[in-house]
Amino acid sequence: MITQIDHIGIAVSGLEQQIPFYRDILRFEFIGIEDVPEQKVRTAIFRIGETRIELLEPTSPGSPIAKFIEKRGEGLHHIAYRSDGIEKEIAFFKGKNISMIDELPRNGVHGSKIAFLHPKSSGKVLTEICQITGEMNE
Protein backbone atom coordinates (compact mmCIF):
# COMPACT_ATOMS: atom_id res chain seq x y z
CA MET A 1 0.00 0.00 0.00
CA ILE A 2 1.21 3.51 -0.78
CA THR A 3 1.01 5.55 2.40
CA GLN A 4 2.47 9.01 1.75
CA ILE A 5 4.81 11.17 -0.30
CA ASP A 6 8.23 10.07 0.89
CA HIS A 7 10.33 12.70 -0.83
CA ILE A 8 10.62 15.02 -3.78
CA GLY A 9 13.83 14.90 -5.80
CA ILE A 10 15.24 18.09 -7.29
CA ALA A 11 18.12 18.03 -9.77
CA VAL A 12 20.84 20.62 -9.10
CA SER A 13 24.23 21.28 -10.67
CA GLY A 14 25.79 22.03 -7.30
CA LEU A 15 24.47 21.15 -3.83
CA GLU A 16 26.39 23.95 -2.14
CA GLN A 17 24.65 26.64 -4.23
CA GLN A 18 21.14 25.34 -3.47
CA ILE A 19 21.42 24.20 0.16
CA PRO A 20 21.11 27.73 1.61
CA PHE A 21 17.68 28.26 -0.03
CA TYR A 22 16.17 25.20 1.67
CA ARG A 23 18.10 25.52 4.94
CA ASP A 24 18.14 29.29 5.50
CA ILE A 25 15.17 30.69 3.54
CA LEU A 26 12.57 27.91 3.75
CA ARG A 27 14.22 26.83 7.06
CA PHE A 28 13.74 23.10 6.55
CA GLU A 29 15.65 20.81 8.87
CA PHE A 30 18.92 19.89 7.15
CA ILE A 31 19.55 16.18 7.67
CA GLY A 32 22.84 15.97 5.82
CA ILE A 33 24.64 15.01 2.66
CA GLU A 34 24.81 11.45 1.44
CA ASP A 35 26.55 9.79 -1.48
CA VAL A 36 24.63 7.21 -3.49
CA PRO A 37 27.38 5.72 -5.67
CA GLU A 38 24.96 3.28 -7.35
CA GLN A 39 23.08 6.23 -8.83
CA LYS A 40 26.14 8.45 -9.22
CA VAL A 41 24.58 11.21 -7.14
CA ARG A 42 25.36 13.21 -4.06
CA THR A 43 22.22 14.17 -2.23
CA ALA A 44 21.37 16.82 0.37
CA ILE A 45 18.37 15.83 2.45
CA PHE A 46 15.90 18.11 4.25
CA ARG A 47 12.96 17.15 6.39
CA ILE A 48 9.62 18.91 6.09
CA GLY A 49 6.94 17.22 8.20
CA GLU A 50 6.80 13.55 7.26
CA THR A 51 8.33 14.28 3.87
CA ARG A 52 11.81 15.05 2.64
CA ILE A 53 13.28 17.20 -0.08
CA GLU A 54 16.31 15.64 -1.74
CA LEU A 55 18.64 17.77 -3.81
CA LEU A 56 20.41 15.57 -6.34
CA GLU A 57 23.80 16.53 -7.70
CA PRO A 58 25.43 14.35 -10.39
CA THR A 59 28.84 12.95 -9.53
CA SER A 60 29.62 11.78 -13.06
CA PRO A 61 28.94 13.32 -16.49
CA GLY A 62 27.19 10.23 -17.86
CA SER A 63 24.85 9.72 -14.89
CA PRO A 64 21.05 9.95 -15.18
CA ILE A 65 20.90 13.23 -13.23
CA ALA A 66 23.67 14.76 -15.38
CA LYS A 67 21.75 13.81 -18.52
CA PHE A 68 18.51 15.17 -17.06
CA ILE A 69 20.12 18.55 -16.31
CA GLU A 70 21.71 18.64 -19.76
CA LYS A 71 18.36 18.02 -21.44
CA ARG A 72 15.89 19.87 -19.21
CA GLY A 73 17.93 22.03 -16.88
CA GLU A 74 17.89 22.06 -13.10
CA GLY A 75 14.61 21.63 -11.28
CA LEU A 76 11.95 19.15 -10.25
CA HIS A 77 13.17 15.63 -11.03
CA HIS A 78 10.89 13.06 -9.38
CA ILE A 79 8.23 12.37 -6.77
CA ALA A 80 8.70 9.38 -4.50
CA TYR A 81 5.79 7.62 -2.82
CA ARG A 82 6.35 5.43 0.19
CA SER A 83 5.04 1.89 0.15
CA ASP A 84 5.02 -0.73 2.88
CA GLY A 85 5.62 -3.47 0.28
CA ILE A 86 7.60 -2.47 -2.78
CA GLU A 87 7.68 -5.93 -4.38
CA LYS A 88 3.88 -6.12 -4.22
CA GLU A 89 3.58 -2.63 -5.76
CA ILE A 90 5.83 -3.60 -8.67
CA ALA A 91 3.86 -6.80 -9.28
CA PHE A 92 0.61 -4.81 -9.15
CA PHE A 93 1.88 -2.20 -11.61
CA LYS A 94 3.12 -4.83 -14.01
CA GLY A 95 -0.29 -6.51 -13.83
CA LYS A 96 -1.77 -3.16 -14.94
CA ASN A 97 0.67 -2.92 -17.87
CA ILE A 98 2.67 -0.11 -16.29
CA SER A 99 6.23 0.06 -17.64
CA MET A 100 8.89 -0.03 -14.97
CA ILE A 101 12.41 1.36 -15.23
CA ASP A 102 13.24 -0.96 -12.33
CA GLU A 103 11.61 -4.37 -12.49
CA LEU A 104 13.40 -5.19 -9.24
CA PRO A 105 13.90 -2.88 -6.26
CA ARG A 106 17.36 -1.36 -5.93
CA ASN A 107 19.14 0.41 -3.11
CA GLY A 108 18.35 4.01 -2.27
CA VAL A 109 19.63 6.18 0.59
CA HIS A 110 19.77 4.79 4.15
CA GLY A 111 19.25 1.24 2.93
CA SER A 112 15.83 2.03 1.47
CA LYS A 113 14.53 0.03 -1.48
CA ILE A 114 13.42 2.01 -4.53
CA ALA A 115 11.97 1.42 -7.99
CA PHE A 116 11.15 3.91 -10.74
CA LEU A 117 8.14 3.72 -13.02
CA HIS A 118 8.76 4.61 -16.64
CA PRO A 119 7.62 8.21 -17.31
CA LYS A 120 5.65 7.07 -20.35
CA SER A 121 3.37 5.24 -17.90
CA SER A 122 3.09 8.10 -15.42
CA GLY A 123 2.19 11.13 -17.52
CA LYS A 124 5.88 12.08 -17.82
CA VAL A 125 6.20 12.65 -14.08
CA LEU A 126 9.16 10.56 -13.03
CA THR A 127 7.67 8.47 -10.23
CA GLU A 128 9.55 6.48 -7.61
CA ILE A 129 8.20 3.96 -5.15
CA CYS A 130 10.27 3.45 -2.05
CA GLN A 131 10.17 1.30 1.02
CA ILE A 132 11.94 2.19 4.22
CA THR A 133 13.87 -0.60 5.85
CA GLY A 134 14.48 -0.98 9.57
CA GLU A 135 17.91 0.64 9.46
CA MET A 136 16.38 3.92 8.29
CA ASN A 137 14.25 4.54 11.37
CA GLU A 138 15.59 7.45 13.38
Question: How many residues does the structure list for the chain?
Answer: 138
Is 48 buried (19+), middle (13-18) or exposed (0-12) by CB count in 10 A? middle
Q: How far apart are CA 79 and CA 126, in angstroms?
A: 7
CB of 128 to Co ion, least distance (A): 5
Out of 12, 66, 80, 115, name the contact with Co ion by CB under 5 A. Answer: 80
Least CB distance from residue 25 to Co ion, whole Å?
23
> Which residues, 6+ apart, have CB-to-CB distance to 103 below 8 Å?
90, 94, 115
Closest separation in Å from C-beta 40 to Co ion: 14
Q: Which residue lies nearer to Co ion by CB, 66 or 80?
A: 80
Which residue's CB is nearer to Co ion, number 9 or number 64? 9
Q: Which of 9, 58, 64, 105 binds Co ion (CB under 5 A)?
A: 9
CB 78 within 8 A of CB 128: yes
Looking at 40, 42, 128, 129, which residue binds Co ion (CB under 5 A)? Answer: 128
Q: Which residues bind Co ion (CB under 5 A)?
A: 9, 80, 128
